[in-house]
Amino acid sequence: MMRGDRTDKSKGHYMARALAVRVGLSIALFLGILLAWKLGYIQPTGLQLAH
């Protein structure tokens, strides 16, 4: 994922920060969906199976 000199610490720091932001946003989205479900804003419907 990273190319270049192994001594280039700024790219590694940038990449770690970008990954942390992505993980944080994913967790926030999941918690938002869970909260919306708990408050009744969204409801699971499931799949309708034909008999």
d(CA 22, CA 26): 6
Q: Judge whether 2 lies within some domain.
A: no
Q: Which residues contact 29 (CB under 8 A, 6 or more apart)?
A: none
Q: How far apart are CA 39 and CA 33, in angstroms?
A: 10
In a domain, 29, yes or no: yes
pLDDT of amino acid 44 = 83
Distance from C-alpha of 45 to C-alpha of 33, rounded to nearest angstrom: 15
Task: Write the pLDDT tens digit of every residue in 18-31.
Answer: 999 999 999 999 99
Residue 21 belongs to what domain range?
10-39
For residue 16, tell me if it sits in a domain.
Answer: yes
Domain assignment present for 24: yes
Closest alpha carbon to 1 in 15, 13, 14: 15
Question: Into how many domains does the chain fold?
Answer: 1
Residue at 25 is within a domain: yes
The pLDDT tens digits along the chain (51 residues) read 556 666 666 778 899 999 999 999 999 999 999 999 999 999 988 887 776
Letter for the amino acid at 26?
A: S
In this structure, is residue 5 part of a structural domain? Answer: no
Does residue 14 belong to any structural domain of this protein? Answer: yes
Q: Does residue 28 form part of some domain?
A: yes
Residue 47, pLDDT score: 80
